[in-house]
């Protein structure tokens, strides 16, 4: 019988799971070495997140609602994209504090301490922390991408991560900027927050110092000064296509949620929604089962049905989205040009931004709704497998 649950980590994944479990009556202890903090992040929440969890929009916590995005690509100019459902941007200090307060109000006990070790004690667990020891019947691992408890959670190999870094800069603007760079499996972002901008870059297979040079150059060209700006960097899980199938998200007596389970969109880097959603699914799996051995299997099933199949499909597309070519030019450049010139293509981009367009349905939508040019773009993304050969164009 599971009565006491230990949650290791108090970011969005851990604090949401804690709130769900505590409000269902379990005794929940949440351990985080920092509790609320400014975790390196853009802080952007998509429509998908606040549509599913309306409290993320309707609350008194400071946030920016942004309805306009500028997309750019080297050599492709810029395109303005109207977001009918805004991107909601928080400072992570504020977001984390709101989520932790919610967990505490639901009855979770918050402990500001680092968990050093997690070991079996009978059918339960003993935790060694910087402050002492604690016991639990079940553990939810929510320690983020830099999980130091290496026997539990996703085993992140270099091919499963990307570096992400940036600056918090004084300033304000009304729109988001997204900039694709030639050859980079990643992008630059400028997110307006309350009182400052989060400007950053993520990229797979590129060393952090190289990314920083590219970001500094971009900021210099755009007149965004780094003087007095606070630098940040972190790891972003970005599971390779082959890694999803064997992803270690749960075991006997434990489950991993959020970044600790590698649950991040491999194309956009969106992770906050998946952290919260996986925290929710982990809680559902725990509450549905009575013995400590079965929730792991139930959790894996729920994840697969809910979103990991789609993220796995996204991982298969990622390289081609950023580094594919179409009509003699990099695909990101063409995406920007098509967004600028084709309202129908812009609508697809808007839905991708909002999280309304799953990757698994993207090819069907491109093929059935868009004109001949977009049909060709779809084929360049690898859809030639599903269309008759005689309609295929030679790859350029």
Ligand X SMILES: Cc1cc2nc3c(=O)[nH]c(=O)nc-3n(C[C@H](O)[C@H](O)[C@H](O)COP(=O)(O)OP(=O)(O)OC[C@H]3O[C@@H](n4cnc5c(N)ncnc54)[C@H](O)[C@@H]3O)c2cc1C
362's tokens = 């993207």
Asked if 116 contacts 109 with a C-beta cutoff of 8 angstroms, the reply is: no
3-state SS class at 263: coil
Q: Which CB, 206 or 264, lies closer to ligand X?
A: 264
Looking at 12, 192, 203, 355, which residue binds ligand X (CB under 6 A)? 12
Asked if 219 contacts 190 with a C-beta cutoff of 8 angstroms, the reply is: no
Asked if 130 contacts 8 with a C-beta cutoff of 8 angstroms, the reply is: no
Q: Using CB atoms within 10 Å of the CB of residue 266, give its burial: 0 to 12 exposed, 13 to 18 middle, 19+ buried.
A: buried
Looking at 5, 29, 43, 322, which residue binds ligand X (CB under 6 A)? 43
Minimum CB–partner distance for residue 328 and ligand X (Å) = 33
Q: Which CB, 42 or 72, lies closer to ligand X?
A: 42
- Measured at the alpha carbon of residue 378, what is the angle toward residues 373 and 380, in degrees to the nearest 5? 95
Length of the chain: 396
Looking at 2, 5, 21, 39, which residue binds ligand X (CB under 6 A)? 39
30 touching ligand X, by CB under 6 A: no
Minimum CB–partner distance for residue 375 and ligand X (Å) = 31
234 touching ligand X, by CB under 6 A: yes
- Candidates 17-25, 26-34, 177-185, 350-358 — which segment interacts with ligand X by CB under 6 A? 26-34
Q: Which of residues 158-177 bind ligand X (CB under 6 A)?
A: 164, 166
Task: Tell me how many helices (H) and strands (E) the chain has.
Answer: 11, 19
34 touching ligand X, by CB under 6 A: yes
194's tokens = 């309350």
Minimum CB–partner distance for residue 211 and ligand X (Å) = 10
Distance CA 297, CA 294 (A): 6
Minimum CB–partner distance for residue 391 and ligand X (Å) = 37
Tell me how crowded residue 288 is: count the other CB atoms within 10 A of its CB: 12
Minimum CB–partner distance for residue 234 and ligand X (Å) = 4
Distance CA 83, CA 146 (A): 33
Q: Which CB, 46 or 380, lies closer to ligand X?
A: 46
3-state SS class at 341: helix
Q: Which of residues 99-158 bind ligand X (CB under 6 A)?
A: 114-115, 142-144, 148
86 touching ligand X, by CB under 6 A: no
200 touching ligand X, by CB under 6 A: yes
Q: Which of residues 236-275 bind ligand X (CB under 6 A)?
A: 236, 258-260, 264, 269-273, 275
Q: Which CB, 43 or 324, lies closer to ligand X?
A: 43
Sign of the C-alpha dihedral, residues 215, 220, 224, 226?
Answer: positive
- Candidates 6-14, 306-314, 329-337, 362-370 — which segment interacts with ligand X by CB under 6 A? 6-14
33 touching ligand X, by CB under 6 A: yes
Q: Which CB, 32 or 240, lies closer to ligand X?
A: 32
Asked if 185 contacts 214 with a C-beta cutoff of 8 angstroms, the reply is: no
Residue located via tokens 């604690």: 134
316's tokens = 């298969």
Q: Kindly list the residues in this chain that would bind ligand X in the complex (CB under 6 A).
A: 8-14, 31-34, 39-44, 114-115, 142-144, 148, 164, 166, 200, 234, 236, 258-260, 264, 269-273, 275
């Amino acid at each position: 019988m599971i009565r006491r649950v230990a949650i290791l980590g108090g970011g969005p994944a851990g604090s949401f799971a804690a709130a769900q479990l505590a409000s269902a009556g379990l005794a929940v202890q949440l351990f985080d070495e920092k509790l609320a903090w400014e975790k390196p992040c853009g802080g952007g929440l998509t429509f998908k997140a606040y549509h599913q969890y309306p409290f993320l929009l309707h609350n008194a916590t400071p946030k920016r609602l942004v309805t306009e995005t500028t997309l750019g690509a080297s050599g492709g100019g810029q395109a303005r994209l109207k977001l009918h459902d805004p991107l909601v941007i928080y400072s992570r200090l504020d977001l984390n504090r709101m989520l932790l307060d919610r967990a505490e109000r639901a009855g979770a006990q918050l402990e500001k301490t680092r968990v050093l070790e997690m070991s079996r004690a009978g059918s339960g667990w003993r935790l060694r922390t910087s402050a002492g020891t604690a016991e639990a019947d079940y553990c939810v691992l929510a320690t983020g991408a830099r999980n130091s408890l290496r026997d539990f959670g996703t085993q992140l190999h270099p091919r499963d991560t990307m570096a992400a870094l940036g600056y918090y800069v004084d300033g304000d603007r009304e729109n988001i900027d997204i900039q694709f760079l030639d050859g980079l499996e990643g992008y630059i972002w400028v997110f307006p927050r309350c009182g400052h901008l989060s400007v950053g870059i993520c990229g797979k297979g590129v060393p952090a110092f190289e990314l920083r040079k590219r970001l500094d150059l971009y900021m210099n060209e755009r007149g965004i000064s780094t003087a007095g700006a606070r630098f940040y960097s972190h790891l972003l899980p970005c599971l390779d296509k082959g890694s999803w199938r064997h992803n270690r998200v749960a075991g006997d007596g434990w489950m991993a949620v959020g970044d600790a389970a590698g649950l991040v969109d491999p194309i956009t880097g969106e992770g906050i929604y998946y952290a919260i959603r996986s925290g929710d699914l982990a809680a559902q799996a725990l509450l549905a089962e009575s013995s400590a051995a079965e929730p792991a299997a139930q959790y894996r099933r729920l994840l697969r049905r809910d979103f990991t199949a789609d993220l796995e499909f996204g991982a298969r597309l990622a390289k081609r989205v950023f580094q594919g070519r179409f009509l003699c030019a990099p695909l990101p450049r063409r995406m920007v040009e098509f967004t600028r010139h084709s309202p129908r293509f812009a609508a697809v981009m808007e839905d991708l931004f909002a999280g309304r367009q799953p990757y698994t349905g993207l090819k069907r939508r491109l093929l059935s709704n868009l004109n001949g040019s977009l049909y060709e773009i779809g084929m360049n993304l690898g859809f030639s497998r599903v269309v008759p050969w005689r309609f295929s164009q030679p790859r350029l």
